[in-house]
Amino acid sequence: MVKLTIDGQQVEVKEGSTILDATKKLNIWIPTLCHHPDQAVKANCRMCVVDVEGQRVLQPSCAFPVTEGMVVHTHSQKVRSARSNILELILAHHNQDCLHCPRNENCELRIIAEKMGFNKKLRFPLHIKEGMDTSSPSIVRDLSKCINCGRCEYACNEIQTVFAITKENRSFDTLYTTPFGMDLASSPCINCGQCVQACPVGALTIHDDTEKVWQAIDSDKLVVAQVAPAVRITLAEALGEEPGSISTGRLVTAMKQLGIDVVFDTDFTADLTIMEEGTELLGRINNGGVLPMITSCSPGWIKFCETYYPDHLANLSTCKSPQAMFGALLKTYYANKIGKKPQDIYSVSIMPCTAKKYEANRPELGRDGYADIDVVLTVQELAKMIKSAGINYKDLPDTQFDDPFGLGTGAGEIFGATGGVMEAALRSVYEIVTGEELKNLDFTEVRGFEGIKEATVPVGNLNVKVAVAHGLGNARKLMDAVRAKQVDYHFIEIMACPGGCIGGGGNPIKNWEKMAKRLKAVYEEDKNLPRRKSHENPAVSELYKQFLGEPNGHKSHELLHTHYFNRSDILK
């Protein structure tokens, strides 16, 4: 342990800690912009400088290690003046049209300026970068707001290993952009939105589709929404409540008050996915099919595989994602059931994931000239609509999801967390194969935030070898091992976003502390549901009886399965 003095207060911290770590222990606020608790230290912005006795110049507290007996001043006149100058220089290169910025409420730059009491007129002429890229269905880039913190590049290249963001030039001319200046839609971007999560300002934001939904609500169409499992965990947080607050019934009420006619639960098609995917896995194992089979629920992962691992497209499950399955059923089975033409139904998905916007635009997810999903809203966008409508979310009563797709199980709910799809599949596959009831439904070996998890699960006479990866940097490591034939699995789950869907780019801005609370809530919701196994969902059984026939049958393949494309040309 190391003892030091900060602003006259003594503190003891672990050896190797930074000054910033020590100030947090004393609840001393230090402004930071390039620093992110889940990323490596960059020390780019210099907003966090402090005065260390014995040092000739001010030092960045995020990068400067503590030493025994060190004396630090965090708000001396010298420090205040330096920070003010740095902030002024940043603002001189930042578009200050804050009223129209999607990050207005939670912009870290604006919050710092407010906390520092910065209210003077800029001494420097405003000189901002030009460039607005709206080509992506998921993400909007506004170079005029970029502050060159480097957090987006770290998220994209170091965590996700997608390499859709690159740093060009130096000093005044530094630019974070796409390779070769291509638009985002033409780049290797897989739409995961982790750059949006990392950005402290409004330089990277979610492509806002709320106006499309407002127009649909005001039209003659029947507006039907599906709500992903993770949304009930993160929506209340987006509206100011504690991370991990579960608000299933309230979110249905809010959506009805917005004017959405029918609200269904995507947990239903998560259960349906398990029936299709589990049957597909057993078919591959028993009939010499391509193994390992890899889950296909995460559209960001699918595009990543199509781009970087096209030689393993045959390993992907042919099952559509739960969102895509729901879209297909809404415009076929449900439309026929209520006597509507598919074109008279406006299909809205509420998702934690920016890549779902991209997925909805895939041409194979539709038929007869119409798309299965008309629009995807993220958690942030739904929260925006609720706030703009003046709805007091905290005090809303609970409302049940609508029938016939309002019933989900705990297995469907845990799709929101890394390892959840694998655990849900194992719960059903075990009982279907053995005919025995599982004594313990909790497959804890595939839970948690470890980057890659492995397990061997006895299922009848077969030891099923499984692996789980979350975050595409971990997926790359796992897929490189598969490509090199260094591992031997039957089944692999991959989620593009760190932590799974609860870490999706469309959720409220995260860190791992918040993620731990979200994860706990996922498993609480699972345990509180009366049914926890997909094959015991009576609504799914009724759908097969009335419409689909059997899992992996002809009708299921026609509506619920898909195909993939080699997109590696984008790398050439």
Active site (annotated) includes residue 101: no
Is the per-residue pLDDT at 472 higher than 90? Answer: yes
Catalytic residue, chosen from 153, 237, 359, 413, is 359
Q: Residue 314 sits in a domain of what CATH number?
A: 3.40.50.1780
The answer to whether residue 96 sits within a structural domain is no
Judgement on whether residues 74 and 186 belong to the same structural domain of the protein: no
Give mean pLDDT, residues 16-40: 96
Reply yes or no on whether the pLDDT at 447 is more than 80: yes
Considering the domain architecture, whether residues 133 and 78 belong to the same structural domain is answered as no
Distances (CA, A) of 455 to 411, 417, 465: 18, 17, 6
Q: Which of 276, 280, 306, 413 is catalytic?
A: 280
- Same domain assignment for residues 142 and 290: no
Rounded Cα distance between 273 and 259, Å, is 29
Average pLDDT score over residue span 119-136: 90
Instruction: Tell me which of 237, 276, 277, 493 is the catalytic residue.
Output: 277
Q: Has residue 136 been placed in a domain?
A: yes
The CATH number covering residue 85 comes to 3.10.20.740
**How would residue 143 be classed by pLDDT, with cut points 50, 70 and 90?**
very high
Q: pLDDT at position 195, please?
A: 98
- Specify whether 146 is located in the same domain as 246: no
Q: Of residues 42, 129, 320, 356, which has the active-site annotation?
A: 356
Q: Which entry of 45, 199, 305, 501 is annotated as an active-site residue?
A: 501
Answer whether residue 563 is part of any domain: yes
Residue 312 lies in a domain: yes
Q: Is 497 a catalytic residue?
A: no
What pTM, to 2 d.p., does this model score? 0.95
> What's the chain's average pLDDT?
96
What pLDDT, on the 0 to 100 scale, is given for residue 2?
96
Q: Percentage of the chain surpassing pLDDT 90?
A: 95
Confidence of residue 275 (pLDDT cuts 50, 70, 90): very high
- The question of whether 465 is a catalytic residue gets the answer no
Find the mean pLDDT for residues 40-55.
Answer: 96
Domain match, 188 and 279 both = no
pLDDT at position 122 = 85
pLDDT at 391 over 90: yes
Q: Which residue has the tokens 């119409």?
A: 370
**244: confidence class by pLDDT, cuts 50, 70, 90:** very high
Q: Is 570 left (phi over 0), alpha (psi -120 to 50) or beta?
A: alpha
C-beta separation of 433 from 246 below 8 A: no
Instruction: Identify the domain boundary among 163, 182, 206.
Output: 206
Residue 99 domain-assigned (yes or no)? no
Please indicate, yes or no, whether residues 192 and 290 belong to a single structural domain of this protein: no
Cα 117 from Cα 122, distance rounded (Å): 14
Shared domain for 142 and 219, answered yes or no, is no
Separation between Cα atoms, residue 197 and residue 149, nearest integer Å:
13
Domain check: are 287 and 384 in the same one?
A: yes
Do 305 and 352 fall into the same domain? yes
Tens-digit pLDDT profile for residues 161-220: 999 999 998 887 889 999 988 999 999 999 999 999 999 999 999 999 999 999 999 999
Whether residue 323 lies inside any domain: the answer is yes
Q: Which residue among 317, 349, 428, 556 is the active-site one?
A: 317
Give the chain's domain count: 3
One domain for residues 420 and 335: yes
Last residue of a domain, one of 68, 91, 114: 91
The catalytic residue among 364, 542, 550, 558 is: 364
Please confirm, yes or no, whether 317 is among the known catalytic residues: yes
- Radius of gyration, CA atoms only, the chain: 25
Query: How many CA atoms are closer than 13 Å to the CA of 221, on its beta-carbon side?
Result: 23
**CA–CA separation, 355 and 323 (whole Å):** 11
Mean pLDDT check: name the lowest of 171-175, 229-233, 390-394, 524-528. Answer: 171-175
Q: What integer pLDDT is reported at residue 572 of this predicted model? A: 81
Is 493 an annotated catalytic residue?
no
pLDDT of residue 54: 96
Quote the pLDDT of residue 200. Answer: 97
Q: What was the pLDDT predicted at 120?
A: 80
CA pair distance 456, 144, nearest whole angstrom: 51
| CATH number of the structural domain spanning residue 175 | 3.30.70.20
**Residues 328 and 442 reside in one and the same domain:** yes
Pairing of strands 345-351, 222-227: parallel
What's the pLDDT at 325? 98
Do residues 174 and 144 lie in contact, with contact meaning Cβ atoms separated by under 8 Å?
no
Torsion of CA 247, 250, 256, 262, to 10 degrees: 50
**Amino acid identity for residue 11 in this structure:** V
| SS3 category, 13 | strand
Mean pLDDT over 446-450 rounds to: 97
Q: Residue 19 half-sphere exposure, CB side, CA atoms within 13 Å? A: 28
pLDDT tens column, 56-83: 999 999 999 999 999 999 999 999 999 9
* Domain, as residue range, for 343: 211-568
- The question of whether 356 is a catalytic residue gets the answer yes
Residue 146 CB coordination number (10 Å): 24
Residue ranges of alpha helices (H) inside 287-390 are 299-308, 322-329, 335-337, 355-360, 379-388
Output the pLDDT for position 121: 82
Asked whether residue 175 is assigned to any structural domain, the reply reads yes
Per-residue pLDDT at 119: 83
Q: Which of the listed residues 39, 67, 91 is the one where a domain comes to its end?
A: 91
Average pLDDT on 467-491 reads 98
Whether 524 is catalytic is: no
Same domain, 290 and 395: yes
Query: How far is residue 137's CA from residue 351's CA, in Å, rounded to a whole number?
Result: 14
113 in any annotated domain = no
Give the Cα separation of 324 and 330 in Å (integer): 10
Kindly report, residue by residue over 298-338, the tens digit of the pLDDT. Answer: 999 999 999 999 999 999 999 999 999 999 999 999 999 99
Our answer to whether residue 192 is catalytic in this structure is no
Any idea which residue has 């994931």 for tokens? 353
Tokens of 225: 């929404």
pLDDT, residue 171, reads 80
Q: How far apart are CA 483 and CA 479, in angstroms?
A: 6
